Amino acid sequence: MTKIDFDQYAGQYEALIAAQTGFFDRDNDYFVRYKVERAKQLAGQSLTDEVAAVLDFGCGVGRAMPHFRAAFPNADVVGCDPSADSLTIARRDNPDCRFLGLDKLSAATKFDLVLASCVFHHIAPAERQDALRYCHDRLKPGGHFVIFEHNPFNPVTRHLVNTCPFDADAVLLTMRETMRRMREAKFDIAATGYCLFFPAQLASLRPLEKYLSWLPLGGQYFVSGVRA
């Protein structure tokens, strides 16, 4: 399997995402906004205006940054990614945030919240534990780590992954695998659930998602962990 070079897609990433997700919601900002807001909610009452720093692990072109800035207006908002071309675009579009290559973000820098949104299916299974330890080492004690991943049991999700050019190297993770790997990386699991059930045409039903998080039919799932 050829490893995807995201530098190749950085300039057209927005258009590709819109083409892939437009059937679900033409506002393709919905997905990143939803995940940032849900991550803040999952992290609980400890994440308030006093949060000092948040990290978007695998930030790509920085699509989530405006939503992080809105959710945590006083925080140091940081993104890291292996794609240099993606980081160039992220810096241009988000001058009030910081962006670093993975090898430039020292473990001495600690965060209150780390979010990894649909990143781990691009990481080879043999390298996933190292990536989880990377995130764990950059959290403050009591800090929260939230993963969102594609749900491999959802047929629509599988179709989208199979037809997406930058998902050619994707190896999907089940929620069970994600939980097991997070526990092995010394995270305490705080919450899990499935999400993204309703397209825009059924947006009025989206408030019901919180009651359906047990149902393994959502387009994606989340696992929230805490560094002890």
How many degrees, rounded to 5, is the angle at CA 175 between CA 169 and CA 178? Answer: 70
- In this prediction, residue 45 has a pLDDT band, given cuts at 50, 70 and 90, of low
Block residue for tokens 């993104």: 79
In-domain check, residue 217: yes
In the chain, the number of structural domains is 1
| pLDDT attached to residue 203 | 87
In-domain check, residue 1: no
In-domain check, residue 153: yes
In-domain check, residue 216: yes
In-domain check, residue 61: yes
| pLDDT attached to residue 44 | 76
Q: What's the pTM value of the predicted model, to 2 decimals?
A: 0.89
Number of neighbours of residue 12 by Cβ within 10 angstroms: 12
Strand order in the sheet with 111-117: 98-100, 76-80, 53-57, 111-117, 139-150, 220-227, 187-195
In this predicted structure, the answer to whether residue 11 has a pLDDT above a threshold of 60 is no
Cα–Cα distance between 199 and 15 in angstroms, integer?
19
pLDDT (tens digit, 9 = 90+) per residue, 114-126? 999 999 999 999 9
Write out the residue range of the structural domain in which residue 186 sits: 6-227
What's the CATH number where 33 sits?
3.40.50.150
In-domain check, residue 131: yes
pLDDT (tens digit, 9 = 90+) per residue, 56-98? 999 999 999 999 999 999 999 999 999 999 999 999 999 999 9
